[in-house]
A and B are shown apart, each in its own frame.
Chain A
Amino acid sequence: MKLTDSQVIQRIKLGDESALDYLYKQHYKMMLRMILRNNGTEQEALDIFQDALIVFWQKAMDANFELSSKISTYLFSVCKNLWRKELERKKKFEDSDKEESEYNQLENQEMVKIIHDCINELGDSCKQILSYHYFDGLSMDQIAKKMGLANSDTAKTKRYKCKKRLDDLIRSRYQASDFLDQ
């Protein structure tokens, strides 16, 4: 089944994740070729393309989003930029003091891990509502429809409760003073 660019965007705006699957299958060869030609591996290429699709997903979700080129062109540009950044990151890592970098990473990783664990301790519906709100940028009305909630007020209350629960969980494991040294 062939979808036009406008159909793909329409589906993304509705939160239909299968539109991402479609774009992934449709364009991965092109992106793979580009990254393989630029000293990347197949796994790196797929990883970068997945990131590019997620960037596109977030952009397309934005109510003010207007596509000024074909989706393939857009994705290609995003992949190119992400790959350039990745190469720069690799080079920087090689040039920098690895020990110091690893130490900083570990410290940051610890905080990230606590947050990650606490998010995973939330129920699925809490995780969903926070993701839809903070990452996908869906309105409360859209979230209510997507999650089968009564109305946008219900979604708003649930979002507030879930966020508070997450904050409390994290705070219980990490005091503010612990963050002060970072």
Chain B
Amino acid sequence: MSETNYFRLIEAFFEGNISPADKAMLEAKIKSDPLVRAEFDLQNNIVKGISNARKLELKSRLASIDLPTSTGILTGSGVKWLAGTVAGVTLFGSVLYWSLISFDNNIKPIDIKINQELAFKQPSLIDFPQLPKEEIKFEEEKSNEKTPTKARISKVNNAVAKEVTAKVQPQSLISYEDDKLFTNQNEEELENIASREIAHNRVDKTEIEFFDALKEENSFHYRYYNSKLYLYGDFKKMPYQIIELNDKGKKQLFLSHDENVYIIKDNTTEITELRKLQDEILKTEIQLIVEE
């Protein structure tokens, strides 16, 4: 085959329509013939050059977009409705966290509703539909205390003692199911659908009870049935979050705590060790939502 024909093969190679046999032949020729190799390198550099020019064009387009300064990075959220839920759940976790680490302190009255409203008023990058205000209630245990505290936490003295009972709605992610719902909807309708989905999710509230760790300090166990979650372990060190993932009609609860994500299976009546989520992509996805 003449060099000109090899040059045609090079062209076919970069056009993506070279046959496997021709490709093998070309590769062999590149190794043995410096001129064919030089032509191949030149064409390779030209295609790269065209790609780089396009990349630069797209990059300069993106670089010209005005973004808010980095000071907003830690406070804002990309998804406002989600932020609402996150705020609620995070608030719950945080309140619990700070309450638990100060057992012996006087518990000051906390108006969660007011905090919640403030959380909703935080500025966001993009405008999203306003959500109905979320309620997080701490159930009051029978007590002689007369403080008007909504969240009441009892001091733990026994080996396995009920620490606190709380109701919290799991945080939901937009699932592919939601994507289907959005299909063929106009933009105005999207907002309503998103709100309705959240409202629907709010019906399911998960009641949580805490107990001391069963074995060593770092072990975590649970039971979960009838929308009630019993957690065994030291959840005082780090705030945690309960996340509900809706995917193709199936709901799955997860517990995010101390950089780990645990799976909570429904109808678990026996005390079971919390199992870490192995699916790295799903774990990242959940952690992203938690971070947001």
Contact = CB atoms under 8 A, between A and B. Distances in A.
Interface stretch (A68-76, A82-90, A143-151): A68-76
A30 B63 contact: no
Nearest to A77: B284
B167 to A, nearest CB: 29
A153 interface: no
B281 A29 contact: no
A5 B79 CA distance: 13
B55 to A, nearest CB: 5
B288 A54 contact: no
Nearest to A113: B49
Size band of the A side of the interface?
35 or more
Nearest to A80: B284
B50 A6 contact: no
B52 A131 contact: no
Point out which of A20, A29, A111, A136 has the most chain B C-beta atoms below 10 A from its C-beta: A29
A76 B286 CA distance: 12
Given A27-B78, A116-B49, A134-B51, A69 B42 contact: no
B120 to A, nearest CB: 17
A11 interface: no
B76 interface: yes
B57 A131 contact: yes
A26 B126 CA distance: 8
A30 B62 contact: no
Interface in A64-114: 68-70, 72-73, 76-77, 111-112
Contacts of B187: 1
A16 interface: no
A155 interface: no
Interface in B115-172: 125-126, 128
A38 B261 CA distance: 21
B45 A69 contact: no
Contact of A17 (B39, B61, B67, B125): B61
Interface stretch (B91-99, B106-114, B177-185, B262-270): B177-185
Contacts, number: 132
Q: DSSP majority for the B interface? A: helix
B47 A134 contact: yes
Contacts of A26: 78, 125-126
Given A33-B291, A73-B288, A176-B42, A21 B70 contact: no
B73 to A, nearest CB: 5
A119 B50 contact: yes
B59 interface: yes
Contacts of A28: 67
B62 A176 contact: no
Contacts of B38: 176-177, 179-180
Interface residues of B, number: 50
Point out which of A2, A28, A57, A166 has the most chain B C-beta atoms below 10 A from its C-beta: A2
A50 interface: yes
Given A1-B187, A29-B73, A53 B62 contact: yes
A30 B288 contact: yes
Nearest to A26: B78
B292 A24 contact: no
B13 to A, nearest CB: 13
B179 A112 contact: no
A89 to B, nearest CB: 17
Contacts of A130: 50
Contact of A4 (B42, B73, B126, B182): B182
Contact of A50 (B47, B59, B72, B128): B59
A112 B34 CA distance: 20
A136 B54 contact: yes
Nearest to A134: B50
Given A5-B179, A21-B61, A176 B39 contact: yes
Interface of A: 1-2, 4-7, 17, 20-21, 24-30, 32-33, 36, 42, 46, 50-51, 53-54, 57, 68-70, 72-73, 76-77, 111-112, 115-116, 119-120, 127, 130-131, 134-136, 166-167, 170, 174, 176-177, 179-180, 182
- 10 closest A-B pairs by CB: A115-B49, A131-B54, A135-B54, A179-B38, A4-B182, A135-B51, A4-B179, A134-B50, A50-B62, A73-B285
